[in-house]
Copies of this chain bind each other. A is one copy, B any other.
Amino acid sequence: MAYNIAVDAMGGDNAPHEIIKGTAMALRENDELNVILIGDEEQIKAELDKEGLDKEVPIIHTDEWIGMDESPKQALTEKKNASIALASQLLKSGEADALVSAGNTGATVLAAAQNIPIIEGIERTALAAIYPTAKFNPESHGIALMLDVGATLRCTSKQLVHFAYMGSFYVSHVLQFDKPRVALLNNGEEPNKGGEILVKTHQELKEAEDINFIGNVEGKDILKGVAEVIVTEGFVGNIVLKLIEGAADVLRATGRYAFKKKFTWKLGLALLSSGVKRFKSKTDYTEYGGAPLLGFQKLAIKAHGRSNAKAIYNAIKVAQRSIEVKVCDHISDSIQNFNAKHRIDFIDI
């Protein structure tokens, strides 16, 4: 089986160096893996030369790419040949079966939406973020998938149920966690919480086949590792994800301040550093490849903007597994099945 993966060589803070390095790591490991690199040919070739691979890597040249801080819509309109646009076109044409980019998140979502066909029966796609959780017990995986985090701001019940299927199948098939626990983010645990849309979503998820629905969870549970899949609308997911990132920033800044401020604090932090390292290594979420874009017939993976070679290597491995286990086909089957059984359940009459 051949795995054809399009990699945006120009996306991310460390492009193209770390992107090519990570790609080379993956290519060395698997003869059946084919990566198509999209970006500036000269830069890519220079990086590839350093790697000394014994296999020819196809390059699609472009001199346009989208910076991390550019406005996604405007940039995609002005740069028709942006690397992320050309990369997602390869999924449309069939030349590639999955895509990896560490570039501008909005541009990745929009380029995918413009080019990759959507699974039949799915109304809205979702960007699913992997984030670290507490690991208070041995069964906990130390990570969870939250969707949506920004592709679909407001959702209907049907869309949220679809997200639950998409997230659950991604986690069980690609990340290979057995029977992932799926939870609905809400303002209370009771089934009647959250207003009409969430009450209906809860009801439908409770009855849904093939989903290990554990019920509503609250904000306080998000970091506690109580579920592997957290379902919410894009607006809320976006605020939550960025709040977690912001909290980590504040902690780091506080640590830096304390380190400089007082010798005893500096010593205290130094003594704790092995613990912090162990804590971080327990929750190395780059090993899960980044944020998948779900609902498309082919998988796009948005790796973190700060991705290093190892993170890119992991994203390519995850993309490869997604092809191997045919995750998009499984999602498609489950959605068709669900929709067929619920043809009248989401009509408000």
Residues of A in contact with B (beta carbons under 8 Å apart): 134, 136, 150, 153-154, 185, 187, 194-195, 218-224, 234-236, 238-247, 249-250, 253-254, 258, 261-262, 264-265, 267-272, 274-275, 279
Contacts and interface: CB of A to CB of B under 8 A. Distances in A.
B241 A219 contact: yes
Contacts of A246: 219-224
A216 to B, nearest CB: 11
B218 A242 contact: yes
A165 to B, nearest CB: 22
Contacts of A222: 239, 243, 246
Contact of A271 (B238, B247, B264): B264
Which applies to chain A's interface (DSSP): helix, strand, loop or mixed? helix
Contacts of A238: 187, 218-219
Contacts of A253: 134, 136
Nearest to A262: B275
Contacts of A241: 219
Contacts of A254: 134, 279
A271 B268 contact: yes
Contact of A185 (B239, B265, B268): B239
A270 B258 CA distance: 14
A222 to B, nearest CB: 5
A243 B240 contact: yes
A269 B271 CA distance: 8
Contact of A268 (B220, B242, B245, B272): B272
